[in-house]
Structure 1
Amino acid sequence: MKRRSSRRFGAPRSQNGKRPHDGELRGRARLGKRTKRLTKRLGAADVAVIDHEDIDRVSGEDLVATGVGCVVNVARSTSGRYPNQGPLILTHAGVHLVDVPGADLFDRLDDGDEIVVRGGQVLRDGEVIAEGEQQTIEIVERDRERARARIGEALEAFAENTMTHIREERELLAGEIELPEFETDFRDRPVLLVVRGPGHKRDLAILRPYVRDTRPALVAVDGGADAILDEGFEPDMIVGDMDSATDASLRCGAELVVHAYPDGRAPGRERLEALGLDFKVVPAPATSEDVAMLIAGEKGADLIVMVGSHFNLFEFLDKNRRGMSSTFLTRLRMGEILVDAKGVSRLYQPAAGRAPMLVVTGGALAAFIVAVATSDLGQFLDLVWLKLQILVGLE
């Protein structure tokens, strides 16, 4: 009988850059029902245990970025509602993805328990505690194609929901949202608004010269604050329900604005009060991204540059939103001052700073001096210099 191999998640990858799927995978279970929070404490030697139906693109990218080798999902990674990209990103990166829908792993496991994943089985101390299906690339691509074939149904439901809620949220277009006074000055300034969304880190990196040269007000929506800090900048304002921003980003000195429901409930209030931080509350029937746009636009910004924003069907379904009424109305209200970061990265040509110019000039001058000193031209110039010295009486 062939002996089954066993390896840790920190083991080297195969030559194609992907971890093989055969054998046993051992690691410490890290449990999290909110994937975006869990990724902040995951390591390559861990097993991520999540409860995330229809893993979205951003969550997939974040999980891969942690280096984790195995993800066990107690929900369906792809429900078939729409062709979500998360499972495809994970499996193509070589992550061992297992679906065990309905498994009680959050009750049976403690964070840090040593577990083994063997194919679709999850074991602790040699006992199988959950069994499901390993999501291979072939299975994920098959399910994605089936979901794509039904996208018309999702689009129709999405459009109907959007039209229904446009009537309920028309105050976003009419300008009836009450905003408090803010410390951040937006008047006649550009604003860079960063959202944790598709490609937000890449877009923000491209815009570094834009931030350096124009010095816009930096506004983050929740976890977008960490992306701004990672680029070496500090946000002026953080807007949202504060569920994905780290404590460090919330304490960075930015003005904090909690997005509340229209009835006044504010999920982020408790966390900020526990941290002892001051904040303002803005109730609105919109997403936190929409509220951030409204604040910047209504307080006088002359340009709003969006990074990581959501505006297509798949992105909204990834966010588990059934419609886009508030975003449609908010963007309609912002008008021509709203620009997508991808457009700016194509149009904006960063000016060269002084330091690069000095380096180039200095290098050229040094090369010229060396060339002159080691050539016949150098000897000729030495002779001319001697003649001048004799003429003026220096020799």
Structure 2
Amino acid sequence: MSILNWSSLSLFSSKPLPLCKGKISVGAITKVLLRDLPPGRIVVLQHRDLDEVAAQELIDQKVKAVINCQETMSGAYPTHGPLMLLQQQIPIWEADAAAFESFTTNAEIAVYEDRIFLGDREIPCSSFTREKWLGMQQLANERTTKLMEQFIENTLTYAMRDMHAIMEPLPQVFLQTDLTDKHVLIVSRGKGYKKDLLAAKAYIAEVKPILIGVDGGADALLECGYRPHLIIGDMDSVTDKALACGAELVVHAYADGEAPGLLRTNALGLRAHVLPCFGTSEDAALLLAYEKRCEVLVTVGARTHMIDFLEKGRAGMGSTLLVRMKIGARLVDIKSIGLLYKRQGWTKEAGTTLFLSLFFIALGLFQLHWIVKRVAHVVWKLGGEG
């Protein structure tokens, strides 16, 4: 009888179990939300075309699920960000942009196949699937040629606009950190930055470069056990912990001198320089190190191609093109130096190889010694018999 009752409850239950439920963290700007995100949260975003860097950060933070109140992928350009989440069994639901204001951090929600329950409120949603990602990716690939034309036009337009600015020296910033004739490692939180920073371990240990974190790049350095000498940026994606680590701070300001990032450093009671400069914070860091007469500039996580810039909301790379033209041969990507030091550095594999080599050499010498003794014995015996 008890089995029949249990079966009846299962069959006639009017409300299915939720696919996902838990506390939420809400952020209109993903990189700001990621600064202090507790693990195991359902995150509610407004992130159109979810990029790979943000996806990897969400994976690293062990989020339970993503609710995106924007198009997770619009088909404007190719991106593997959504697929990365789905491959890690992190589900994605999309809700209407207007629904974003309904969510508040620490609220409890339950997510079903096509709706979200937030208290007494029911919010429609739809699941972002691998099939949808594949369709959007194919659409984006078909648009690539036209997209590249627009990107090149935008890049050249802004390069022409800013070409006179690149000729002028930066406003003077009196740093305590001396960069003259030194190697400088500039870390941005771009694609593959963690892997590249780990690959630079031997280089950092031997050369001991000046370490510059561009915004969240400072946290990347701290995560790998390094304290940055300088932090440069808008100060919007770097954590309070990194800002207070003792690094010298340089707030990247607009060319007209407006520096929104200064509000944050002032609120934390931290002293910071202000550097008005066109372009991105990465551009500003490169130019500052160059004008402080560094010997070599090494980049980690730097944006290098069209998709990198589009994912960061930049329709061109005019300033970056000009900066790299100005710096010239001093600029090196960590991938090149990482290969060199990987070959030269002492690794576990190298140690094992050397040990085995010495073992077999010793074994060979022992065998040779044994053979010589046997031959000498035979010769002596034959001589005695003669």
TM-score norm. by structure 1 comes to: 0.82
Give the secondary-structure state (helix, strand or coil) at the position aligned to 1:169.
Answer: helix
**Match in the other structure for 2:384:** none
Using the alignment, how far apart are the partners of 2:54 and 2:25 within structure 1?
15
Using the alignment, how far apart are the partners of 2:165 and 2:344 within structure 1?
35
**Residues 1:329 and 1:228: Cα distance change in structure 2 (over 3 Å):** same
Quick check: 1:58 aligned with 2:53? yes
Deviation at 1:228, TM superposition (A): 0.5
**Match in the other structure for 2:114:** 120
**Residues 1:63 and 1:2: Cα distance change in structure 2 (over 3 Å):** farther
Please show how residues 120-269 of structure 1 align to structure 2 within 5 Å. Answer: 120-125=114-119, 127-128=121-122, 130-269=123-262
Deviation at 1:158, TM superposition (A): 1.1
* Structure 1 counterpart of 2:32, one-letter code: R
**Residues 1:238 and 1:2: Cα distance change in structure 2 (over 3 Å):** farther
> Which sections of structure 1, spanning at least 5 residues, go unmatched?
7-22, 369-376, 378-395
Deviation at 1:126, TM superposition (A): 5.5
**Residues 1:181 and 1:133: Cα distance change in structure 2 (over 3 Å):** same
Using the alignment, how far apart are the partners of 1:86 and 1:351 within structure 2?
34
**Match in the other structure for 1:24:** 19
The question of whether the paired residues in 2 share the 8 Å contact of 1:210 and 1:350 is answered with no
* Structure 2 counterpart of 1:85, one-letter code: H
Please show how residues 9-48 of structure 1 align to structure 2 within 5 Å. Answer: 23-48=18-43
* Structure 2 counterpart of 1:319, one-letter code: K
Deviation at 1:338, TM superposition (A): 0.5
The question of whether the paired residues in 2 share the 8 Å contact of 1:172 and 1:329 is answered with no
1:324-365 C-alpha deviation (Å, 9 max, x unpaired) = 000000011111110111111122234339xx98xx99xx99
From the two aligned structures, give the one with the greater helix fraction.
Answer: 2
Using the alignment, how far apart are the partners of 1:112 and 1:303 within structure 2?
47
The question of whether the paired residues in 2 share the 8 Å contact of 1:34 and 1:50 is answered with yes
Quick check: 1:82 aligned with 2:65? no
Please show how residues 288-299 of structure 1 align to structure 2 within 5 Å. Answer: 288-299=281-292
Quick check: 1:73 aligned with 2:75? no
**Residues 1:276 and 1:42: Cα distance change in structure 2 (over 3 Å):** closer
1:192-228 C-alpha deviation (Å, 9 max, x unpaired) = 1100000001100111111111000001100000111
Which of 315, 324, 332 is equivalent to 2:308? 315
Sequence identity, in percent? 36
Quick check: 1:99 aligned with 2:94? yes
* Structure 2 counterpart of 1:124, one-letter code: L
Deviation at 1:2, TM superposition (A): 7.7
The question of whether the paired residues in 2 share the 8 Å contact of 1:171 and 1:177 is answered with no
Using the alignment, how far apart are the partners of 1:122 and 1:334 within structure 2?
52
Using the alignment, how far apart are the partners of 1:292 and 1:223 within structure 2?
13
**Residues 1:2 and 1:238: Cα distance change in structure 2 (over 3 Å):** farther
**Residues 1:272 and 1:42: Cα distance change in structure 2 (over 3 Å):** closer
Deviation at 1:64, TM superposition (A): 1.2
1:117-137 C-alpha deviation (Å, 9 max, x unpaired) = 112321123641x21321011
* Structure 2 counterpart of 1:209, one-letter code: A
Q: Which has the larger displacement, 225-234 or 31-40? A: 31-40
The question of whether the paired residues in 2 share the 8 Å contact of 1:76 and 1:101 is answered with no
Deviation at 1:260, TM superposition (A): 0.5
1:111-152 C-alpha deviation (Å, 9 max, x unpaired) = 111101112321123641x21321011111111111111112
CA RMSD of aligned residues (A): 2.9
* Structure 1 counterpart of 2:19, one-letter code: E
TM-score norm. by structure 2 comes to: 0.84
Give the secondary-structure state (helix, strand or coil) at the position aligned to 1:270.
Answer: helix
1:263-319 C-alpha deviation (Å, 9 max, x unpaired) = 111120000001111111111111000000001111111111100000100000000
* Structure 2 counterpart of 1:58, one-letter code: V
The question of whether the paired residues in 1 share the 8 Å contact of 2:35 and 2:238 is answered with no
Give the secondary-structure state (helix, strand or coil) at the position aligned to 1:154.
Answer: helix
Using the alignment, how far apart are the partners of 1:275 and 1:40 within structure 2?
15
**Match in the other structure for 1:286:** 279
Number of aligned residue pairs: 353
Q: Which has the larger displacement, 263-272 or 92-101? A: 92-101
The question of whether the paired residues in 2 share the 8 Å contact of 1:172 and 1:326 is answered with no
Please show how residues 237-386 of structure 1 align to structure 2 within 5 Å. Answer: 237-348=230-341, 349-352=343-346
1:80-105 C-alpha deviation (Å, 9 max, x unpaired) = 21112221211222111011132323
* Structure 2 counterpart of 1:123, one-letter code: F
**Residues 1:2 and 1:204: Cα distance change in structure 2 (over 3 Å):** farther
* Structure 1 counterpart of 2:91, one-letter code: H
